[in-house]
Every structure is written in C-alpha cells, then in structure tokens.
Amino acid sequence: MLSYILRRILIAIPTLLLVSVFVFMLQKLLPGDPALVMAGEERDPEVLAYLREQYRLNDPLIVQYFHWLWNVLQGDLGMSLRTQHPVTKLIADKLPVTIQLAVMAMFFAFLVGIPAGIISAVRKGTLIDYIANFIALSGLSIPNFWLGILLILLVSVNLGWLPASGYEPFWRDPVRSLETMIMPAFVLGTALAATLMRHTRSAMLGVLQSDYVRTARAKGLREKVVILKHSFRNAVLPIVTLSALLFGELLAGAVLTEQIFTIPGFGKLIVDAVFNRDYAVVQGVVLCVAVGFILMNLIADVLYVLLNPRMRQTL
C-alpha cells in the first residue's frame, strides 16, 4: 500500500512541474505591466527601473520562472503587489474559509444526492424515480446566483432566520460561523447533490442488473443488505472519483456564491487579484488550486484500493 502511494506521488511530481510552467506563463499573457501598477499614477522612470530590477522583470522568462520556482519550493510565493503582504499569508487566511464552505457543501450533497440516487435506481420507472430526476435536473439548471439571491430575500430579509452575508471564523464563534455558511453551502450543495444523484443512479442501475446481485437475492438476503452491501459497495468507485473532482472545484473557489454572500474565500481573492493585476496572488492561488486537485485525485486513488479488494491483490 505504501509503495502504491509513493508511486502515485512520483507520478504527480511531473504533473506539478508542468502545471507550474502553465501557471507562470499564462499570467504573463495578462494585459498590463506590474511595474506600472506598483509605480502609481506618477510613474517616475527611476521608480519603474527600480521596480523592474527589484522584481527581476528585466530577466528572460526562463530565468524568471526558475527563480520563481525556487522560491515556491521554499514556501515563498512572493509578495502581493497591491497590499505588500506575503501571498502565503493571504492564502493561509482565505484557504480555511473555502475549505469550510467546500466541506459543508459536500456534506449537504452527500446527505441528499447519494440516498436520492440509490432510491431512484431501486424504484426505477416509478413516480419516485421521476420526481427525483426532475428535482436533480432542476438543481442542475438553477443558477447559483439566482438561488442565492432568492434565499437571501426569503430566509434573511423576510423571515430573519439567518444572516444575509458575512463570515465568522469557526474557531472564534462556531454557531455564528455555521449560521453564515448554511445558505452558501446549500446553494453550492444543490448543484453538487443533483450531479451526485445522477451518477449514483447510473452506477446503481448498472450494478443492480449484475449476476451477483441476482444471486444475492436468490439466496434470500434482505433487500437492504443486497442494496447497501452488495450493490452500493460496487457502485461507489465512480462516485469517489466524481466527489474528488467536485471537491477540487470547490477549492478553486465558488466565485459568484462568495461574492453574493460576501465570503472572503479563494473566489473573492482571485477575482480581486485579477482586477488589480496582482500577478503574484494569481500565481499563488492557481498553483494552490492545482495542488489541491492533484491531492484529491491521489486521495481518490487510495480510496479505490481500500474499497476494491481486487485492486489490493494487484499491488
């Protein structure tokens, strides 16, 4: 098992290097000169020359890349051009917010999507199946920004149950933190639950038609055991992959949802950085998101081995 994990990590290293090249080069395609942004309105030639020398903007791109990569390997993602704060500190401040939002959204998606997919597959062709599919399609079709605004008007403005916006760190006030995160997590989790429901239903339908499920039923096993132990256990592998990808997307930041509910997460950070041409922050956030995607895929691979005994035999 350990050797398998090490092999997957070694495979991920070239991917990370390639991602770092794209992250560095793509931000160079953004319009504007960071030296002009830092110099302000006066743009004194001496100041511009100093800034270009200070940030190595006059060096060839390959030299700039390796200098940036060497600093990244040491945990230095540079300084924000706008706030003059370390990018690592900005990411460390925003990442817990996005992780909390992503975890709560995935919890809601799992709580609703997977049971609905199982029930829909087991009751295929019935009224319950049609209702579940209709709700899933509605969840995929409704835009997040519209649902978020509707919830603010209904739950916060009219009923006054939850705060309309803002954020409170969980370690400071857990109750207030959960109150501020329930609605945005619900908005994000609705679309995720619909996606999980559709994939769970599809995977379960394929498994329920297999020979070993018919054999289990012929042996007189209870339907609950047949569905949960024999069927869902074999249908869970594609759901694991999908869940890892969905969680990775949430780590990238739900831009519209965070803007609507004024949540200071990754989405708001990267939008502000792009508008302010804060290239160091854009590089740091995109690289962090890429690492998150690769890490989630690594976790999915490990879960594959743990859930599938046949894969453990091949290691």
Query: 111 vs 138, 249, 265, CA distance in Å?
Result: 18, 19, 24
Assess contact for 90 and 269: CB atoms under 8 A.
yes
Q: Within a domain: residue 78?
A: no
Q: Are residues 134 and 195 in the same domain?
A: yes
Tokens of residue 271, six digits:
């939008």
CA distance 15 to 23: 12
Residue 157, domain extent: 88-314
**Domain limit, last residue, from 40, 73, 106:** 73
CA distance 231 to 239: 13
Of 204, 209, 185, 292, give the one whose Cα is nearest residue 244.
292
Q: Within a domain: residue 81?
A: no
Q: Are residues 59 and 99 in the same domain?
A: no
Q: Within a domain: residue 80?
A: no
Q: Within a domain: residue 256?
A: yes
User: Total structural domains in the chain?
Assistant: 2
Assess contact for 12 and 286: CB atoms under 8 A.
no
Q: What is the CATH number of the domain that holds 133?
A: 1.10.3720.10
What's the pLDDT score for residue 228?
79
Q: Are residues 59 and 95 in the same domain?
A: no
Q: Within a domain: residue 273?
A: yes
CA distance 90 to 80: 9
pLDDT in tens, the chain (315 residues): 677 777 777 887 888 888 888 878 766 666 666 666 666 666 667 767 776 766 667 677 788 788 888 888 888 887 777 777 888 888 888 888 888 888 899 899 899 888 888 888 888 888 888 888 888 888 778 887 788 888 888 888 888 888 887 788 888 888 888 888 888 888 888 888 888 888 888 888 888 888 777 887 788 778 788 887 778 877 888 888 888 888 877 876 677 788 788 888 877 787 777 777 777 788 888 888 888 888 888 887 777 777 766 666 665
What's the pLDDT score for residue 310?
65
HSE-CB at 309 with a 13 A cutoff on CA atoms is 2
Q: Are residues 92 and 235 in the same domain?
A: yes
Q: Within a domain: residue 139?
A: yes
Q: Within a domain: residue 83?
A: no
Query: Tokens 């919890």 correspond to what residue?
Result: 107
Q: Are residues 187 and 262 in the same domain?
A: yes
Q: Are residues 160 and 303 in the same domain?
A: yes
Q: Are residues 127 and 197 in the same domain?
A: yes
Assess contact for 244 and 300: CB atoms under 8 A.
yes
**Domain limit, last residue, from 73, 98, 118:** 73
Q: Are residues 303 and 279 in the same domain?
A: yes
Of 17, 216, 192, give the one whose Cα is nearest residue 110.
192
Of 29, 27, 52, 56, give the one whose Cα is nearest residue 39.
52
Q: Are residues 158 and 260 in the same domain?
A: yes
Q: Are residues 93 and 218 in the same domain?
A: yes
